[in-house]
Structure 1
């Protein structure tokens, strides 16, 4: 079995990816495919669940086809967190597009709950602030928006889950409806102290418990998939940011990493201590193995790589992230140009759903290079803000491990190290 591989399915916000990883940690084969982003209204972000499934299955098949004689020992799943799907238990078909973690349509509902005095209770049980970022209000919105859905949910005809849960259902042919503790901890329905779905929270948000999956260890038995030919056991599941924490070997309390994908996520291992933030950072589950829960403190940046994608796809002023880095390196500074990437509001520590993006300080001499550099700098400045918030909570890391697409940019990482005043470390594979 020394030549065996793990098939890792990485379902992200803008693309699905599959990787065959050797037991020595090497990447043997991989495939990646983007899928469409759907923006029905301002502040709304959706995905077609079938596009998610098609691209994830196709990238897995492409990866497996490149393995030759090497065998797959097990499947692991990691996923964009908080994004939710509700589907028919008989057909497996979704009743509505997936509502993405960036989506802000339920901001009014969460503000109403906060005004009614529920914010402290939600934080106490879940570690999360009352915000449309998390899954609970999204599930309730779908149930209310789709005719008959709430009644069907009460009758047990529907299933709900985050993207890992949806993929596991499809991979196992509908035999397993399960999620792991890291994904459950991002729903606002899961008590991270007791390790159970909380009946009071479900009632508060209007989510029938019959919809919800079984919660398992991050390393556990999630059934068997036969869709790729041989029966392959699914043995590991974790939300993408927690998976990155494990991948960066942040196993000791005080270890911290930051991932720069569509958003940016600074996650600090706090061991068996659930740390309550005074700076509106999130308490969450880092991973759970053998029934033992390790906790984390997290700061969430809602727009990081998506800002660069916006420069490419909407403004059409760069070819890709590398091109943005080249332009940034070619000028001394932004000449007073600043970009606030609040395309879907601001995350930690502000949690402002109404904030919107802006480019400030433009002059007649401003160029696309200044805008590109300001966009890259915005990720570093937001990281600095999160580290300042952690310092107020009594944590001051001296070493930051980074990963994700933006972490391939040498200029950005050096700029980040300069303004943070700490060591920034990038792994070989990111």
Structure 2
């Protein structure tokens, strides 16, 4: 038997299965795109059946590549965190489309709760702000507006969960679990609590009985149904994607900080066992839980990163491929004064303005594809810089930054981040650290590693380094241009 680890990486635009050796070597990967459903402005949905079927197809491809299920020691699952699935535990079928983390349909309800004075208490309890981003208000919307969901709630067969819960249920044939990192993104769990809080459920009008059991991030979470892969495979690792990437980057000591650039951009700083509190509209979240003991993180969430490039490519037709942005950015000495504020799903941290709209400023007859592509990449550095200032104001100043995610493979963007932050930036040679973190957790849960530190030593690879090389004068000009455009958003 070979001790391979199968990771199911549930992204926003695609689902992947990745097969790792216990030494961190990537053996193979299978990927399928997910259909993006936009029923109305501000609304984003997925088909939960499609998530399941395409994930299963990718997983089967990797099990076959491994030589059979007997060569897969464990499964780790990592997912985009706040997307909500509603399903019937009796039939095992979804009751409505999944509401994706980008969905803004609950903005009015969040405003109502803010105006009623609930935000400070909610933030102290959960580490989160009242924003449509988080899962709890999406769960309430499904119960209130989808008759099949309301019917299952009355019948006592409703399950509400994030994507890892949905997949565990389908893989095992009925287990109803969520890990502490995903649970901490719902607005329904206190950071110092070990379960979903009935009082918070009442506030957000979410039926407590429909929620899963909160568990560790590594352990025995059940085994797959025999008919799925021929032989049962143990599920031993679960984590939200940003927590998983933080683990995969080896940010296992307090103060270590990473930024993941995928569909959005998410920055987490390890805070150890101290429950984080922010005065600058950052988020407190569970980084991981092992043996019931929690390690926490301070987080800043940017809603639009790689999805901006996707929009320029697919909706505006300005790009042939996402990789083309680097060539275009290098082809000109500057953006010509063009600045993009990518508030296509509102503004996340540290601004939290769900009503904000995107802005392209500084257009002229000299503006072409290259200027817009470069401005799109420059927006990543400026959004990161806004967060760096908020982290510093909260007493978590960065001395360096570890970056990852598919977008970070762009060398020009990585250098621009170092330039604007005026800090050294590190990037692993294998940028898909979200999957590495899930493999590390699954390896610990399966007993392949004694600790996350051991897993990190075994599975982490080489590092690329980017050091600042921008003059203070140029940095100040760029920051002033960004601030002016940001005020227009």
Per the shorter chain, which TM-score range?
A: over 0.9
In the superposition, the TM-score normalised over structure 2's length comes to 0.86
Q: Which residue of 2 aligns with 1:146?
A: 146
Task: Please report how far the alpha carbon of residue 148 of structure 1 lies from its aligned counterpart in structure 2 after TM superposition.
Answer: 5.4
- Aligned counterparts of 1:148 and 1:364: Cα–Cα separation in 2: 53
Instruction: Give the structure with the higher percent helix.
Output: 2
Q: How does 1:168-179 map to 2 (within 5 A)?
A: 168-174=168-174, 176-179=175-178
Where has structure 1 moved over 6 Å in runs of 4 or more?
none
- Aligned counterparts of 1:27 and 1:156: Cα–Cα separation in 2: 43
Deviations 1:344-389 (A, max 9, x none): 1000011111001111110011001100111111111100110110
Q: Which residue of 2 aligns with 1:76?
A: 76
Contact 2:66 2:72 in 1 (8 A): no
Q: Which residue of 2 aligns with 1:201?
A: 200
Q: Which residue of 2 aligns with 1:51?
A: 50
- Aligned counterparts of 1:416 and 1:321: Cα–Cα separation in 2: 18
Pair 1:270-2:271 in alignment: yes
Pair 1:240-2:241 in alignment: yes
Is the partner of 2:234 in helix, strand or coil?
strand
Q: How does 1:29-428 map to 2 (within 5 A)?
A: 29-68=28-67, 71-147=71-147, 149-174=149-174, 176-226=175-225, 227-428=228-429
Gaps of 5+ in 2: 432-489
Instruction: Give the structure with the higher percent strand.
Output: 1
Aligned length: 428
Deviations 1:265-299 (A, max 9, x none): 00000000012111100000000001100000000
Q: Which residue of 1 aligns with 2:451?
A: none
Task: Please report how far the alpha carbon of residue 421 of structure 1 lies from its aligned counterpart in structure 2 after TM superposition.
Answer: 1.0
In the superposition, the TM-score normalised over structure 1's length comes to 0.98
Deviations 1:66-112 (A, max 9, x none): 22378100100000101001001111111110000010000000100
- Aligned counterparts of 1:236 and 1:148: Cα–Cα separation in 2: 32
Deviations 1:149-185 (A, max 9, x none): 33531431111100000000111122x0001000000
Q: Which residue of 1 aligns with 2:441?
A: none
Task: Please report how far the alpha carbon of residue 56 of structure 1 lies from its aligned counterpart in structure 2 after TM superposition.
Answer: 0.9
Is the partner of 2:349 in helix, strand or coil?
coil
Contact 1:154 1:210 in 2 (8 A): no
Contact 2:309 2:322 in 1 (8 A): yes
Contact 2:86 2:149 in 1 (8 A): no
Is the partner of 1:75 in helix, strand or coil?
strand
Higher RCO (CA < 8 A, seq sep 6+) = 2
Bigger mean CA offset, 16-25 vs 139-148: 139-148
Contact 2:95 2:148 in 1 (8 A): no
Bigger mean CA offset, 244-253 vs 89-98: 89-98
Is the partner of 1:131 in helix, strand or coil?
coil
Is the partner of 1:280 in helix, strand or coil?
coil
- Aligned counterparts of 2:149 and 2:233: Cα–Cα separation in 1: 34
Q: Which residue of 2 aligns with 1:18?
A: 17
- Aligned counterparts of 1:283 and 1:78: Cα–Cα separation in 2: 19
Is the partner of 1:277 in helix, strand or coil?
coil
CA RMSD of aligned residues (A): 1.1
- Aligned counterparts of 2:178 and 2:168: Cα–Cα separation in 1: 8
